[in-house]
Amino acid sequence: MSEPSALSLPAYRDAIALDAPSRPLAPPATPGELPALTRQTLSLLADDPATRRLGLSAEDIASADDARARLLLRTVLTVRAPGPMPERAVKALDALLGGERLARTMSDPARLPLIADACPHTGYRAADRTVLWQGDITTLAADAIVNAANSAMLGCFVPVHPCIDNAIHSAAGPALRDDCHTIMELQGHPDPTGTAKITAGHRLPARYVLHTVGPIVHGPLQADHEVALASSYRACLDLAAEAGHIRTVAFCSISTGVFGFPKGPAARIALDTVADWLDTHPGIVDRVIFNVFADDDHATYVQALTEGTPPR
């Protein structure tokens, strides 16, 4: 039986107001205002089902130090179901997330060294249009960043889980989950592997987030896993081109975390697929960033770029 088809961009673009400019309800807070805003937001969410389910009380909030209070708020927002929240809470959260964003060092894709400069001896044919960058993707001011999502497409609901899905939703804020929920309600079934959806980036420095469901690998790597992973990369770039106004795209290492795809083959597929797409779509995307976080992920890409048979 064939997998259900994915919802097309025109079928949900207006429903999530994809092309509307981001308008937070409050300006970014100063660093000194962040601790009080954290507690204020927690208090404003005291009656939220997620807060009640976690058993948090006013005493828990009052007795927590600043780091603990921020962790409690992140936990509430991680487990919270999509849906509206009180306007005062939205304003406080907008100020908090905006202030945290300004407090972090942002990275401009245009200032990152191309692979051609960082690895001058590489045989990679897209080296003059791509970047290998090690850092936190939630601080990257690309036009679009890629999120490795699960098929429910609602983000990770496990508090402080180390997946990229959790990190991106935490930095973007709950409006990102609301957008994803709107799309999935319209689609009516889990997102197929190897496809992509696009939402606004909300409180991220990136304007858009491309969400894709990569293949899950249990046991030996199979040819269909490789085909599905390549499809995820192509789907993101195709969707970026369809959405318009996206000149820089940053990919995380799709499927190589809890989804179990071996890192070496995944890097090779990512490099090959992106090069093929850029060759067949000249002038559409100016720069693609391969974002890695851990040292071993970076080493895997460097090896793929500089050793053995160059990416074809």
Q: For position 257, which CATH number holds? A: 3.40.220.10
| Residues 95 and 130 reside in one and the same domain | no
List, for residues 248-264, the tens digit of each pLDDT value.
999 999 999 888 899 99
Question: How many domains would you assign to the chain?
Answer: 2
| Residues 88 and 128 reside in one and the same domain | no
Identity at 65, one-letter amino acid code: D
179 inside domain: yes
| Residues 49 and 169 reside in one and the same domain | no
- Rounded to 5°, angle at Cα 299 from 193 and 204: 55
Q: Which of 57, 81, 103 is the last residue of a domain?
A: 103
- Per-residue pLDDT at 269 exceeds 80: yes
| Residues 130 and 95 reside in one and the same domain | no
Rounded mean pLDDT of 210-222?
Answer: 95
| Residues 218 and 156 reside in one and the same domain | yes
| Residues 15 and 158 reside in one and the same domain | yes
Chain mean pLDDT for the chain: 95
List, for residues 7-23, the tens digit of each pLDDT value.
999 999 999 999 999 89
At residue 287, the pLDDT reads 98
Q: Which of 52, 86, 103 is the last residue of a domain?
A: 103
- Per-residue pLDDT at 309 exceeds 50: no
286 vs 205: CA distance, rounded Å: 18
Q: In sequence order, what DSSP letters do the residues of 166-231 get, joined into one string?
A: HHHHHHH-HHHHHHHHHHHHHH-SPPPTT-EEEEE-TTSSSSEEEEE-PPP--SS--HHHHHHHHH
159-196: b (≥16 Cβ within 10 Å) or e: eeeebbbbbbbbbbbbbbbbbbbbbbeebeeebbbbbb
Domain that holds residue 62: 31-103
Identity at 54, one-letter amino acid code: L
| Residues 59 and 190 reside in one and the same domain | no
| Residues 137 and 166 reside in one and the same domain | yes
Rounded mean pLDDT of 111-116?
Answer: 97
Q: Which of 88, 103, 118 is the last residue of a domain?
A: 103
229 vs 279: CA distance, rounded Å: 19
- Within 13 Å and on the Cβ side, how many CA atoms surround 270? 30
At residue 283, the pLDDT reads 95
| Residues 98 and 192 reside in one and the same domain | no
At residue 257, the pLDDT reads 85
- Per-residue pLDDT at 3 exceeds 90: no
- Per-residue pLDDT at 186 exceeds 80: yes
Biggest alpha carbon distance in the chain? Answer: 61
To the question of pTM greater than 0.75 for the whole model, the response is yes
| Residues 80 and 115 reside in one and the same domain | no
Q: Specify whether the CB–CB gap between 186 and 12 falls below 8 A.
A: yes
| Residues 178 and 41 reside in one and the same domain | no
311 inside domain: no
